[in-house]
Amino acid sequence: MSRPEPDEDRRTSWTAEEAAVVYDRSRPAYAPAGLDFALLPLAGLTSPRVLDLAAGTGQVTRLLLARGLDVVAVEPAPGMRKVLEHNTRAARVLAGTAEEIPLPDGSVHLVTVGQAFHWFDLERALPELARVLRPGGTLALLYNSRDDSVAWVRALSDLVGDPERADHVSTTPELDPYELDPPFEFDGVLETPFEQELDTATLVDLVASRSYVITLPPRQRATLLDRVAELARTHPQLVGRQHFSMPYVTQVQRYRLRS
């Protein structure tokens, strides 16, 4: 499928700490099997180091720390980074971008990118990724996609779906692996189901945390979020339920840096 072009308004939509707090309390983690797949190339290495790039508020960083890994988290947005520092005190947190990574050459064994690779300027980012990775190192891209085979999730996608962001809003169309230029070579993809426990307030926050919703005019944004809350209260699959699960497919794409 075609890839959306980065939009500067959306790139900067998480600058404010308030938006970052909403993002942090509503965004899901990733399926453990997906993280296992991302970390597989580290097996047998002594004290591997991982860079979590575009780390946001730490959804991937926290999972890496829980595995006992040495983690550097790089995030450009000040609001996101402030929450990230609070959430991941065991990680080294740095300001930086994919196009200008503040790390030495060959300093990490693995780079993880959660739900953000489509924002990168690949002409500049790929050489930077190749620079900081050790020879034979791995780039792992993690995405969560809503499972629209469930009726209420499909209704949510119909309500809030932004066609320009369709690649990471739902499972239709499927997210195809990137075709990255050398020295990166494709090293496999894994898809696995995952669920996030929600209530109505968290579902509204989840929608509110999306970049295209943050940048809507205030009245239009408020109307949309009211409709999301109404869906949670009235959809036949959700009515009367205080808590419910959002079904996802976690996809992890793995790329190897040629030695």
Each residue's pLDDT tens digit, 195-231: 999 999 999 999 999 888 988 899 999 999 999 999 9
Q: Is residue 78 over pLDDT 80? A: yes
Residues 6+ apart with CB under 8 A from 104: 132
Q: In which domain, by residue range, is 58 found?
A: 8-257
Is residue 16 domain-resident? yes
Is residue 76 domain-resident? yes
> For residue range 246-259, what is the model confidence (pLDDT) as tens digits?
999 999 999 999 97
What is the Cα–Cα distance from 245 to 257, expressed in whole angstroms? 37
Is residue 1 domain-resident? no
Average pLDDT, integer, range 114-141:
97
> Torsion over CA of 182, 121, 57 and 104, rounded to 10 degrees?
60
Is residue 2 domain-resident? no
Q: Which percentage of the chain shows pLDDT scores above 90?
A: 83
Is residue 19 domain-resident? yes
- Domain CATH number, residue 142: 3.40.50.150
Instruction: Please give the tally of structural domains in the chain.
Output: 1
Is residue 3 domain-resident? no
pTM of the entire predicted model: 0.89
Is residue 133 domain-resident? yes
Is residue 93 domain-resident? yes
Given a contact cutoff of 8 angstroms between Cβ atoms, the answer to whether 192 and 186 are in contact is: no
